[in-house]
């Protein structure tokens, strides 16, 4: 095995082009488990820790450009206002030690259906900035997950940053597991209200081969909120609308039975999480809208 | 490959390191610092917790080469770290040992340095609190808990029970049921508070 230690982004791209099978390692919280247990013996391991910019973020007008290796701890501490859904999701990852090392770039690299960043990114709206010696491109988050633990990156590409839309309304993230810390999701649900565009976006984790949005549920809810004038009148969402939304979120799942839970349980639980996160975010929206004299 | 790093304040070098090796393996097997424990090698238990450039991490999940040029503090260096904080007037109280960094653990490992340094027989306030509260049974989890608890108390001198639970949520213990560990950290926090308060 060779240990590559690029000192800059350009060096990293050159190394990845020369050795497309090289395995990048950022926090190492996925990669090292595989190496320790002999599940992976790459010829080249490529350390990304020396590339300072990958650990930095920039808050722009519309979005946050989050360096691929910014650890979860920093997201929780510094970006709670701009990225509330992702900050909540980050807090549910593993333990302080893991959150001090692991980050969104690694979560996207692994692309596990159980990765906690994914539902939050899907709900907020995001683009993955991928680079190679050939150039760079922005991959919409909806097109990033291509299969179980597969993503849209080409062999010579690396993730440089993730551009995540700044919250313009309340966001929530909720996860079902057997305990609070150190738990891989049985299923998870992210929801973001976007009052500026009068839309709601969702993200479902651990309940399909890839992280997915519940698109039919979103369309139903967007239409129902619009028809009832809810964004303007700030009324509570009626139980029947919430119920239908939950059913459609359950229907968006394509889960498996495994040691963590059955498919039936996952479908049911996603519906419960959908209803709860909708209630939490909507009540919070009504509160702020009322405080601003909007309703 | 060769890995050069600072461990408990001392520059160290490890040779013939395999590229896929963990920092934990380097510390235990190449640098003679067996305080950090190897229990799960998959980030689940926290018994390998060390500080990497001040930040608590699972050393089993850090590739050895990623530690090149960086600073590591292990349980063997906690007494010296507490001493340094005390010297700076940070909350640790006047009793904190102040031997040079790393003398404790490394001297105590029977390294080439002769008799154990003074630090080897002295404990940091958190370590003493674990002893006094009876928070150690088999002791396998203890080094990781100590490093994690010490770091939390440095950041947050007056933690609530919820803060303690959160800070230690990545450390598993099979023996104690955690209550004595909670007692120990509360005790360390209380003593730290007393040591700071009576200077009007
Ligand atoms: C005990 C434990 C508990 C865990 N609990 C959770 C949990 O609750 N929720 C959760 O979501 N995850 C969990 N994980 C998994 C892991 O912590 C996350 O997936 C984390 O986000 C990985 O980030 P990392 O920087 O450590 O990735 P690494 O291990 O460094 O890399 C992960 C993958 O991404 C690739 N990669 C990394 N950076 C880049 C880049 N810039 N460009 C291209 N590819 C890249 C790597 O080659 C590798 O394939 C847990 C892991 C452990 C050990
Ligand atoms: S040995 Fe590293 S976390 Fe268990
Ligand atoms: S004292 Fe035995 S594992 Fe904690």
Rounded Cα distance between B13 and B2, Å, is: 7
> Is pLDDT above 70 for A175?
yes
In three-state secondary structure terms, B61 is: helix
Report domain extents, chain B: 3-74, 76-99+117-196
With residue B7 as reference, give the H or E element that holds it. strand B3-7
Residues of A in contact with B61 (CB under 8 A): 27-29, 32-33, 98, 101
Cβ-defined contact of B61 to A28 (cutoff 8 Å): yes
**Which of A38, A95, A110 has the highest number of chain B CBs within 10 A, making it the mutation to test binding with B?**
A95
Rounded Cα distance between A214 and B135, Å, is: 48
* CATH class as words, domain B76-99+117-196: mainly alpha
Cβ-defined contact of B19 to A25 (cutoff 8 Å): no
CA-based torsion, B78, B114, B23, B67: positive or negative:
positive
Angle between helices B125-133 and B179-196 (to 10 degrees): 130
* CATH class as words, domain B3-74: alpha beta
Rounded Cα distance between A176 and B39, Å, is: 27
Ranges of beta strands (E only) in A21-154 are 23-25, 44-47, 57-59, 63-67, 126-132, 135-140, 145-147, 150-151
- Of A193, A109, A122, nearest to A164 by C-alpha is A122
Q: Extract the tokens encoding A53.
A: 């910019």
Residues A65 and A48: beta-carbon distance below 8 Å: no
Rounded Cα distance between B1 and A23, Å, is: 18
Q: How far is the CA of A41 from the centre of ligand 3 (A)?
A: 33
Average pLDDT for A240-262? 96
Closest ligand to Cα B56: 2
Rounded Cα distance between A201 and A122, Å, is: 7
Q: Which of A108-112, A206-210, B89-93 has the lowest mean pLDDT?
A: B89-93
Pocket of ligand 2 contains residue B58 by CB under 6 Å: yes
Ligand 3 atom nearest to CA at B135: 1
The pLDDT score that the predictor gives to residue A18 is 98
Question: Which of B37, B45, B46, B142 to mutate for ligand 3's pocket (most ligand atoms within 8 Å of CB)?
Answer: B142
Q: How far is the CA of B44 from the centre of ligand 3 (A)?
A: 14
Q: Which of A83-92, A97-106, B104-113 has the lowest mean pLDDT?
A: B104-113
Cβ-defined contact of A94 to B43 (cutoff 8 Å): yes
β-strands A63-67, A126-132 pairing: unpaired
Q: How confident is the model over A48-74, as pLDDT tens digits?
A: 999 999 999 999 999 999 999 999 999
How would residue B121 be classed by pLDDT, with cut points 50, 70 and 90? low
Ligand 3 atom 3 nearest Cα: B173
Residue in the structure block whose two tokens are 């979560």: A107
Residue in the structure block whose two tokens are 């973001």: A192
Residues 150-189 of B with CB under 8 A from A: 166-167, 169-171
Q: How far is the CA of B158 from the centre of ligand 1 (A)?
A: 32
How would residue A293 be classed by pLDDT, with cut points 50, 70 and 90? low
The pLDDT score that the predictor gives to residue A225 is 97
- Of A173, A149, A157, A159, nearest to A75 by C-alpha is A173
pTM of this structure? 0.93
How would residue B25 be classed by pLDDT, with cut points 50, 70 and 90? very high
**Where do the H-state alpha helices sit in chain A?**
9-18, 31-36, 72-78, 84-91, 96-99, 104-110, 117-124, 215-227, 230-233, 239-251, 263-291
What is the 3-state secondary structure of B124-192?
A: CHHHHHHHHHCCCCCCCCHHHHHHHHHHHHHHCCCCCHHHHHHHCCCCCCCCCCCHHHHHHHHHHHHHH
Say which residues have a Cβ less than 8 Å from residue A293's Cβ, sequence separation at least 6. Answer: none
Domains of chain A (ranges; CATH) run 2-46+54-165 (3.30.465.10), 171-291 (3.30.390.50)
CA-nearest residue to A100 within chain B is B57
Residues A85 and A167: beta-carbon distance below 8 Å: yes
Q: Extract the tokens encoding A257.
A: 């039975």
Rounded Cα distance between B123 and A77, Å, is: 32
> Residue A165: CA atoms inside 13 Å, Cβ hemisphere, count?
20
Ligand 1 atom 51 nearest Cα: A29
> Is pLDDT above 50 for A99?
yes
Pocket of ligand 3 contains residue B90 by CB under 6 Å: no
A-B contacts (CB, under 8 Å): 87
Q: How confident is the model over B31-54, as pLDDT tens digits?
A: 999 999 999 999 999 999 999 999
Q: How far apart are the first and last CA of chain B?
A: 54
Rounded Cα distance between A186 and A112, Å, is: 13
Closest ligand to Cα B47: 2
């Amino acid at each position: 095995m060779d240990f590559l230690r690029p000192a800059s982004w350009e060096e990293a791209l050159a190394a990845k082009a020369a050795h497309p099978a090289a395995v990048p390692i950022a926090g190492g919280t996925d990669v090292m488990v595989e190496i320790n247990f002999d599940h992976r013996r790459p010829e080249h391991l490529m350390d990304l820790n020396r590339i300072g910019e990958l650990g930095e973020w920039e808050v722009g007008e519309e979005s946050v450009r989050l360096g691929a290796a910014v650890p979860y701890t920093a997201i929780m501490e510094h970006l709670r206002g701009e990225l509330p859904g992702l900050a909540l999701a980050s807090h549910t990852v593993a333990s302080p030690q893991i959150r001090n090392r692991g980050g969104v770039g690694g979560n996207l690299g692994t692309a596990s259906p159980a990765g906690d960043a994914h539902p939050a990114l899907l709900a907020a709206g995001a683009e993955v900035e991928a680079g190679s010696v050939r150039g760079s491109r922005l991959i919409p988050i909806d097109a990033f997950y291509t299969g179980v633990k597969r993503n849209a990156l080409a062999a010579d590409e690396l993730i440089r940053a993730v551009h995540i839309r700044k919250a313009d309304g309340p966001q929530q993230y909720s996860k079902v597991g057997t305990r609070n810390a150190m738990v891989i999701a049985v299923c998870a649900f992210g929801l973001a209200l976007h009052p500026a565009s009068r839309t709601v976006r969702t993200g479902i984790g651990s309940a399909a081969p890839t992280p997915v949005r519940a698109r039919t549920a979103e369309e139903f809810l967007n239409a129902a909120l619009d028809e009832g004038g809810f964004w303007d009148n700030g009324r509570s969402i009626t139980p029947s609308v919430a119920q239908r939304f939950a059913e459609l979120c359950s229907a968006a799942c394509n889960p498996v039975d495994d040691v963590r839970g059955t498919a039936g349980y996952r479908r049911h639980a996603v519906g419960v999480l959908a209803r709860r996160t909708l209630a939490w975010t909507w009540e919070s929206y009504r509160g702020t809208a009322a405080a601003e004299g909007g309703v | 490959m060769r890995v050069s790093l600072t461990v408990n304040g001392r520059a160290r070098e490890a040779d013939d390191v395999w590229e896929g090796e963990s920092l934990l393996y380097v510390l235990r097997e190449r640098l003679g610092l067996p305080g950090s424990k190897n229990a799960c090698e998959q980030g689940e238990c926290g018994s390998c917790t060390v500080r990497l450039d001040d930040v608590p991490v699972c050393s089993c999940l850090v590739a050895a080469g990623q530690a090149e040029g960086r600073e590591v503090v292990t349980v063997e260096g906690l007494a010296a770290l507490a001493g340094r904080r005390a010297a700076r007037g940070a909350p640790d109280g006047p009793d904190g040992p102040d031997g040079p960094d790393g003398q404790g653990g490394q001297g105590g490992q029977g390294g080439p340095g002769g008799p154990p340094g003074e630090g080897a027989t002295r404990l940091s306030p958190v370590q003493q609190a674990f002893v006094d509260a009876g928070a150690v049974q088999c002791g396998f989890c203890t080094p990781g808990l100590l490093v994690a608890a010490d770091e939390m108390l440095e950041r947050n001198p007056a933690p609530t029970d919820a803060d303690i639970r959160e800070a230690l949520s990545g450390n598993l213990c099979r023996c104690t049921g955690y209550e004595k560990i909670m007692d120990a950290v509360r005790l360390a926090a209380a003593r730290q508070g007393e040591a700071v308060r009576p200077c009007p």
